[in-house]
Structure 1
């Protein structure tokens, strides 16, 4: 990281940033181009894994199966800092960037766990049911974090 003065290493603060984010962007290599898609997510802190869900077909699913690796980014706490001169403007934020192995989840119990992580993050606590027919149609994806960097300009 170039700006070490903005680096966050405290695991509690990193978790706060993850908790505050509503959207994560996952990025894939697609030939000579990058393919980036925004997703909602859940985080399994113990397993250091993010979970996503969606349709079982499409470009994202093809790239997961093809590459098995992805980058990710999330950010929050945005605030424009104004000044009298253009060069004095700045932007406050907190962000996380990382990469890791990404796979489709096939096991029904892990699918339920992944969906529970997503529902916990997006909707808070509660008990959720996932009927078997819906579970079979829903793609659940796990990204195992191999590298994660957090940064803040506050």
Structure 2
């Protein structure tokens, strides 16, 4: 990272960014080339001391229809990149080029895989609902689960950055 002073280093800081975000942008590739798709998400998080590791573990849960460019790309090429950010407002300057923007962000890479099985799909959708609308009822019929693709992105590397 070019500006090391902006790097978010603690698991708590990184978790706070993930928790505050409502959208993850997923970069993937298909026959037409690279594209980015914004998606709502849920997640599983494990602090380093919980898993005896140097870095936290992050898995993202997303869903889509069973057909279309996104579903085809996810099934074709499992390597993806992710980005999520929290917009913290404009930083005013004394002249035009001194203006900036305050933010916190996460960027990373991982492997996306489609989830099979009713209970595993129910778990993924429940994680999404718990993140986006924790107060809402999160019941899913077997019919809804059968027609919905659920994916999990196992993040193998991610970094956080902030501009305060």
Per-residue deviation, residues 58-109 of structure 1 (Å, max 9, x unmatched): 1111111111111000000331112231121111100000010001111221
**Correspondence 1:61-100 to 2 at 5 A:** 61-100=71-110
Deviations 1:34-55 (A, max 9, x none): 2100000001114621000110
Q: CA deviation at 1:129?
A: 1.5
Range that drifts further, 114-123 or 104-113: 104-113
Is it true that 1:9 corresponds to 2:9 in the alignment?
Answer: yes
Q: Give the Cα separation in 1 of the matches to 2:157 and 2:31.
A: 23
Alignment-derived partner of residue 161 in structure 2: 151
Aligned length: 154
Q: What is aligned with 1:25?
A: 25
Q: Alignment partner for residue 107 of structure 1, among 117, 123, 136?
A: 117
Partners of 1:142 and 1:125 lie apart in 2 by: 23
CA RMSD of superposed structures (Å): 1.5
Distance, in Å, in 1 between the alignment partners of 2:147 and 2:30 is 25
- The separation in 1 between residues aligned to 2:18 and 2:135, in whole angstroms, is 16
Give the superposition deviation at 1:12. Answer: 1.1
**TM-score normalised over the length of structure 2:** 0.88
What is the SS of the residue equivalent to 2:113? strand
Measured in 1, the distance between the counterparts of 2:135 and 2:120 equals 18
Q: Which residue of 1 aligns with 2:127?
A: 117
> 1:45 is paired with a residue of what secondary structure?
strand
Distance between the aligned counterparts of 1:67 and 1:28, measured in 2? 7
* Residue ranges of structure 1 left out of the alignment (5+ in a row): none
Unaligned runs of 5+ in 2: 47-56
Q: Distance in 2 between matches of 1:50 and 1:69?
A: 14
Counterpart-to-counterpart distance in 2, 1:99 and 1:58: 23
